[in-house]
Chains A and B, each alone.
Chain A
Amino acid sequence: MKTIGLPKALLYYHYHILWKTFFDALKVPYVESKKTTREMLEKGKEKCIDETCLSMKIFLGHIASIKNQCDCILIPRIYSIEKKEQVCTNFNALYDLVRNVYPKVSIINYNVDVKHHHSEENGFIHLGKQLGFSKKESKNAYKIAKKKEKEHNQLLEEQGRKKMHSKKTKILLLGHPYNLEDDLIGKRIISYLKDKDIEIIYSYEVPKEKVNTCVQKISPKVHWTMNKELLASFIYFKDHVDGTILLTAFPCGPDSLTNEMILRKKGKNKVLLLTFEDLNSDVAILTRLESFLDMLKGGIHL
């Protein structure tokens, strides 16, 4: 049986439960890449053009770190997961991009494009077929995986709800999961905030069924599915937290649009925008973070 490599970046953070449960159900072995290191980022930078976002550079670095430990790497092509919407164009291009950057790496792929009638389920059936499983076997494994994913999401939502009532200073950390969870990006902020005994609510803890109604309060039509969750989480949590930190990787197209929407509609809520680039120093981020915390909960007086 082939061993599948899962690079711990970008879509991994959206789909890792689904992927891993699916492969477990079919008894397909897989390996995950390690935590992001600066070395990975350097490798990734060498491989891509300057204009790509930091998260993409990290992703390409992960591929380099894992390519010799597996037989093929899972890279889906995701175009749309809602009918009239789209996800970041990087996710459309990921498969082709990696194929060109790493011509020798073997890729296993599935396609999700709801707009053009390619459902996620069909994608996974196709994925199973490439691994030698029947339609029935794959369908079954997908069902199990989907159930696990739902349970996981409910767990996250429950966590979010609980934290909303915490007595500590609360901060909504808003950003794509692949930025929040990355060791070079969000983890640095998270450990700093935790050290200051701050309750952190993550944007991905917003109840999924609230996303469409909440997002209406900011804009009736948001084209970018993944950013809808970010906007909705702001509306859902904003009055229950002391402040919100927008965490973004430079240069992210959809984020530049939705961050601006939040900043313009924040009203009295306190919002800090932190942009991550592949710079070496933490000092600039630290200054902004520190002064933001000073401002919360009544601020510092004379």
Chain B
Amino acid sequence: MKAYLGIDIGSISTKGVIIDEENRILASSYLWTEGNPIQAVKNVLNELEKKVKDKDIKILGVGTTGSARKLIGTMLGACSIKNEITAHAIGTLSKYPSVRTILEIGGQDSKIILLEDGIVTDYAMNTLCAAGTGSFLSSQAKRLGIDVKDFGPIALTSKHPTNIAARCTVFAESDLVHKIQMGYEKKDIIAGLCYSVASNYLNNVAKGKKIVGQILFQGGVSKNIGVKKAFEDLLKTEVLVDADGHLMGALGSAILAKKNSKNEVFAFSLKNSKFETAGIECKGCPNHCEVIVIKKDGRKIDSWGNRCEKGSLIH
């Protein structure tokens, strides 16, 4: 059976899926990146291999997305290395053909994608500021001494969410400390935090965008039912969360790999190779470009980041 592999390497988590020709998910894996994308991908491959071991499948294409897409794409010889926007849109469309709005909040960035007739018509990402992303929620969870996984259920028990300044993460944090010291109940503060993430997103990332149904909420934060409810309250409409919402980027890149497949068989044994990366500051000219070199079993396979002649953006 022909199959395709898609991997989404985010800042916090690494996701992998194997799909068949009908875009059905045969196996999936979801692990923490833990600051080591190469190891994380090896672990993901390990898991996937175990899951499809009994099935007779041939992987004919690999697609990568996420912030480490270039590195991992080079490592795995991917036939599709695509940005997160396109990958998420394609992945979501394969399950929800009539989707119009995708709200996405990840660990490090957040984005909104607007679609019309199955085509991306507009999108926005958080700019220089990482306000209201997943990492904000998890650092506040730590402050409150609560596991971030329990955030959602606790938030739902609150009847009077505390009002927390949402414009900026720094202000939100100091406001939060203030509210704690004032003696607000924990569950109300947690619900307030969920609201602040949602309204922060709507005010910053989705600013000026027309949000119409069908709306899907994705990314790691979508697992937080408190934020989902906050979105529904603020938008006054239903917001869907898919059980595989976290896999949409990986699914999309697997579909893109299928489209670009060169019919070369991918072998899981690649994960046993030793990959090394190094960041070198080029001293060739006053630009001091940061060049990334990737080696497989001691041999250099690619490098990028150099701004000379071709420029790093080209690579």
Show the binding face of A for B, using Cβ within 8 Å.
Answer: 37-40, 187-189, 191-192, 195, 250, 263-264, 270, 275, 277, 280, 282-283, 285-291, 294-295, 298-302
Contact = CB atoms under 8 A, between A and B. Distances in A.
B125 A288 contact: yes
B286 A295 contact: no
Given A294-B86, A295-B121, A301-B118, A275 B128 contact: yes
Nearest to A195: B314
The 8 closest A-B pairs by CB, nearest first: A39-B286, A291-B85, A299-B119, A37-B286, A192-B313, A290-B83, A291-B83, A38-B287
B145 interface: no
A133 B118 CA distance: 68
17 contacts: A37-B286, A39-B287, A191-B310, A191-B311, A195-B310, A250-B128, A264-B208, A270-B122, A277-B128, A283-B67, A286-B83, A287-B84, A290-B83, A291-B85, A295-B123, A302-B90, A302-B97
A294 B120 contact: yes
Given A291-B123, A294-B86, A295-B121, 17 more contacts: A37-B287, A38-B288, A39-B288, A188-B312, A191-B313, A191-B314, A192-B314, A195-B314, A263-B208, A283-B67, A285-B313, A286-B313, A287-B83, A288-B125, A295-B123, A302-B97, A302-B118
B125, B255, B307, B313 — most chain A CB neighbours (10 Å) = B313
Interface of B: 67, 82-86, 89-90, 93-94, 97, 118-123, 125, 127-128, 208, 255, 285-290, 305, 307, 310-314
A298 B117 CA distance: 11
Given A37-B287, A38-B288, A280-B290, A302 B93 contact: yes
A302 B91 CA distance: 8
Contacts of B311: 187-188, 191-192
A287 B121 CA distance: 16
B119 A37 contact: no
B117 to A, nearest CB: 9
Contacts of A195: 310, 314
Contacts of A295: 119-123
A39 to B, nearest CB: 3
B121 to A, nearest CB: 7
A282 B119 contact: no
A294 B113 CA distance: 13
Contacts of A288: 125
A301 B119 contact: yes
Q: Identify whether the interface residues of A are mostly helix, strand, loop, or mixed.
A: helix
A300 B288 contact: no
B86 A275 contact: no
A38 B118 contact: no
Nearest to A65: B286
Contacts of B120: 291, 294-295, 299-300
Nearest to A279: B128
Contacts of B84: 287, 291
Contacts of A301: 118-119
Contacts of A263: 208
Given A39-B286, A291-B85, A302 B94 contact: yes
A193 B209 CA distance: 26
A294 B287 contact: no
B85 A294 contact: yes
A39, A250, A264, A283 — most chain B CB neighbours (10 Å) = A283
Nearest to A193: B313
A242 to B, nearest CB: 13
A300 B90 contact: yes
B234 to A, nearest CB: 22
A140 to B, nearest CB: 40
Contacts of B128: 250, 275, 277
Contact of A291 (B86, B285, B287): B86
B286 A38 contact: yes
Contacts of B287: 37-39
Contacts of B289: 38
Contacts of B85: 287, 291, 294
A294 B83 contact: yes
Contacts of B288: 38-39
Nearest to A283: B67
Contacts of B290: 280
Nearest to A268: B121
Given A295-B120, A295-B123, A300-B120, A189 B313 contact: yes
